Amino acid sequence: MEIRASVALSTLALTVAFVLTWAPVAPAQTGPEIMQKYRAIHRVKDEEEQFVLRIVSASGATKERRVVRWTLNGPDNLDKLLIRFLAPRDVENTALLTWEAKDGNDDQWLYLPATKKPKRIAASGKKNRFMGTDFSYEDMRTENPAVNRYTVSGSESVDGQDCWVVESVPA
C-alpha cells in the first residue's frame, strides 16, 4: 500500500513539474491592463494622508509645506480630492478641490484664504504651475486610465520584486 502511494505521489509530482516546465508562457499584460489592475487594487472608499512638500529652487534654496490630502471614492468610482496646506502661515488653509470626471475633464477649484472664496480652474489653466511647484493643477488629480495611453516599456527589479515599467502619455 505504501509503495502504491509513493508511486502515485511521484507520478503526480513529475506530471506537475512537466506541465510547469512545458506550459506556454502566459501572454504579457498590456499597459492599460496593468494600470486598470493597479487602480482596482489600490482603490479605497476614503483616505487621508499628511505629507511634507519640499520645494527646491535652482539655487538649492528649500521651502517646506505641510499638506493634508483627503480622497473620497464615489459610487460611480470617481474620486473627489481635497488638498489643504497646513503650514507655513503664508499658505495656511489654501486648498484645492478636484472632482474627477469620466471624460478626464475634472472640475477644480482653488480656495485662497485672502479672497475667502473659491476660484474655478479653467481647462486652459490646468497646465499652469500649482502653488509655486513644478506640478501643474492637472498633476494634482487622480490619474484616469481612460484618458491616457499606457505602454509597457520594459521591466526592472525593485526591492527584489520584478516590476513592469509603464509609460503614460495623454491620449
Beta bridge partners, 49, equal 69
Class of domain 44-139: mainly beta
Tens digits of residue pLDDT in 7-36: 343 433 333 333 333 444 444 789 999 988
Instruction: Strands of the chain (E only): list them.
Output: 46-56, 62-73, 79-87, 95-99, 107-112, 117-120, 148-158, 161-170
Peptide bond into 88 cis (omega under 30): yes
Tens digits of residue pLDDT in 105-153: 899 999 999 999 999 999 999 999 999 999 999 999 887 777 789 999 9
pTM for the model: 0.71
